[in-house]
Amino acid sequence: MVILMLGAQGTGKGTVAGILSENLGWPQISTGDIFRKNIKEKTPLGIEANQYISKGELVPDEITVPMVVERLNESDAKEGAILDGFPRNIAQAEKLEEILSQKDKKVDLVINLTSPEDEIITRILNRRVCSNQACKTTYNLTMHPPKEQGICDKCGAELMQREDDSDKEAIQNRLNIYDEKTLPLVEFYRKKGVLRTEEISEKTGRLGNDVAQDVIQEIKSK
């Protein structure tokens, strides 16, 4: 089964994908995590990708698509995978369909998360991520803080703020790019009958964990 996470930065895609992955046993494939790993290790891919990410811009398809293809070919993605941050545009979605069809697979479910923009910006500015790449647990200093300041509850590693999470102007740019290039995917997948839209908001009280648990129950009941 292939699940896609759609939604602007800060809507909780990583949180929901992480809970699904832990409960279903399928890998959470995040292009952002792979990019950040390469940037930290200063690989050729990381250096090239960072030229775009540091400005809040999308990494071009010719860099992103081959990377995702390689990841989907790994053994742990055989039974299922949760794609977090890919595809980001119609061209990538069409390429993904082509790749999956070659494996006799398809996109089974697209979870589209929405949130008020003011909440999104506040969440991103307060987001902290475990520096241990094997953990990658995400925290929010106001909504979901760690028990010990600056330390991951799960593995004890230091928490960090992503470079592209500290600049409000870059965050706004990312949201604008999402509206322009990625939002059309909502209609693309709606027409295919696999779209599920959920609002994540402090005002309604429905958060990422609620959505994830509902999806898990529905999948396991089938």
36 in catalytic set: no
Catalytically annotated residue among 71, 95, 123, 127:
127
Find out whether 130 and 159 touch, Cβ atoms under 8 Å.
yes
Ramachandran sector of residue 106 (left: φ over 0; alpha: ψ -120 to 50; beta: rest): beta
Catalytically annotated residue among 37, 105, 162, 206:
162
In terms of Cα–Cα distance, which of 22, 25, 36, 32 is closest to 1? 25
Catalytically annotated residue among 95, 123, 136, 174:
174
162 in catalytic set: yes
The CA–CA distances, whole Å, from 143 to 19, 70, 83, 113, 214 equal 17, 35, 24, 17, 21
- Spell out the residues 6+ positions from residue 205 whose beta carbon is closer than 8 angstroms to its own: none
Burial class (CB in 10 A: 0-12, 13-18, 19+), 138: middle
Amino acid residing at 203: K
Catalytically annotated residue among 13, 36, 71, 95:
13
Catalytically annotated residue among 88, 123, 128, 136:
88
174 in catalytic set: yes
What stretches of 106-207 show up as alpha helix (H) in DSSP? 117-125, 168-177, 184-191
Catalytic residue ranges? 13, 88, 127, 162, 174
